[in-house]
Amino acid sequence: MKEDQFVVVNDLGEEIVCNILFTHEAADGRNFVVFEFSDTHEISAALYIEDPDKPGEGILQDVENEEDWEMLEELMSHYEEDEETIHL
């Protein structure tokens, strides 16, 4: 698996590869990851919480705060603009 990928297991127990589009550290130190499901190309985001006992490993937690979603949507908009510029 590539360094910019991870696997999630859906409700049916199926493994789905996700491609990391970008990460973001908020001013309060929380880390977010924006990613694309490889099977549907749906884009989503999650809060990444690193395991203090295992650097480089952690869990993803749902983004539940509306302010966080607004911030991530704004970042995603900038990301898409940058991607369009690169591919012109």
CATH of residue 77: 2.30.30
% of the chain with per-residue pLDDT over 90: 69
pLDDT at residue 41 is higher than 60: yes
pLDDT (average), residues 14-27? 95
Backbone angle region of 67, left / alpha / beta, with phi > 0 → left and psi within -120 to 50 → alpha:
alpha
Looking up tokens 């590539």, which residue turns up?
2
Residue 84's pLDDT band (boundaries 50, 70, 90)?
A: low
Q: Is 77 helix (H, G, I), strand (E, B) or coil?
A: helix
The tally of domains found in the chain comes to 1
For residue 81, what pLDDT is reported? Answer: 79
Neighbour-count burial for 21-42, b at 16+ CB within 10 Å, e otherwise: beebeeeeeeebbbbeeeeeee
Domain interval for residue 77: 5-86
User: Residue 8: exposed, middle, or buried by beta-carbon count in 10 A (0-12, 13-18, 19+)?
Assistant: middle
For residue 32, what pLDDT is reported? Answer: 97
